[in-house]
Amino acid sequence: MSEKVKEYAGEGIVVRYDVRRCIHFAACVRTLPNVFDPNKRPWIDPQQGNADEIAEAVMRCPTGALHFERTDQGATEPLPAENVITVSADGPLYLRGDIEISGPDGTTLLKDTRVALCRCGASQNKPFCDGSHNSAGFQDTGMLPASQLKPGEAGAVGGVLRVTPAANGPFLIKGNLELRSGDEQAGAHGVGGALCRCGASSSKPFCDGSHKQAGFTAE
């Protein structure tokens, strides 16, 4: 859970950038290229936009690498009313909602609204994605098989979503959620389940126990 956070101040807003959680999804660049320009140094210049525009661009970052603090009494980032996990094709699990990542003893290690979790097994920043799926050649369509989520109350997708990375095993999910395919055309609702993080499961995104045969190791 180590961080390497840099801060960039502008009029009415401070942008925080966690280098280790960035996978260059580039939503910020596409949204506001005059503020977020990877060809410049520093690559984030909040002086080139207004606080509302910058806040909107930051909230498009799916990994949580970018966050902001308003210094002008402007609106803070709202807590999403729904917990959604999107299974990206050939890439990570994108979580958006009231997310808490916990240790095996129940200790809360991180609270966030946007997180990208590794599901290829190759990240050097587990449990977060660091883009290693590209060099590892990880392949998965992001489509959903028959749901293995524990059924929940119809329409209930809010509240805290707790994620516990099991030692040498899957992500244990507990809380109301909607699980979506990579094309966001299909979904399943539930209150928990076990999602693969070793990359070897034959029923992705769900765990099928393959981490044992694969020799997957992670705290």
- Say what the pLDDT of residue 149 is: 85
**Burial of 7 per CB tally in 10 Å (0-12, 13-18, 19+):** exposed
Q: Is residue 44 part of a domain?
A: yes
In contact, 10 and 47? CB cutoff 8 Å: yes
| Confidence check: pLDDT of 181 > 60 | yes
Structure tokens at 11: 């009029």
pLDDT at 146: 79
CA distance 105 to 25: 32
37 and 15 share a domain?
yes
Give the pLDDT confidence of 27-70 residue by residue, as tens digits: 999 999 999 999 999 999 999 999 999 999 999 999 999 999 99
pLDDT at 3 over 70: no
What CA–CA distance (Å, rounded) separates 26 from 3? 20
Domain end position, chosen among 70, 105, 123: 70
17 closest CA partner among 51, 52, 48, 57: 57
Q: Is the pTM of this model over 0.85?
A: yes
Question: Given a cut of 70, is residue 2 above it in pLDDT?
Answer: no
Residues 176-205, mean pLDDT to the nearest whole number: 91
- β partners of residue 44: 36
Domain boundaries, position 14? 5-70
Residue 79 φ then ψ, to 5°? -80, 120
- Taking the C-alpha atoms of residue 53 and residue 59, their distance in angstroms, rounded to an integer, is 10
**Could you tell me the CATH number of the domain that includes residue 153?**
3.40.5.90
Contact partners, residue 77, CB within 8 Å, separation at least 6: 55, 58, 59, 67, 68, 113
The answer on 200 and 92 residing in a single domain is yes
pLDDT in tens, 134-172: 999 999 999 998 788 888 766 677 899 999 999 999 999
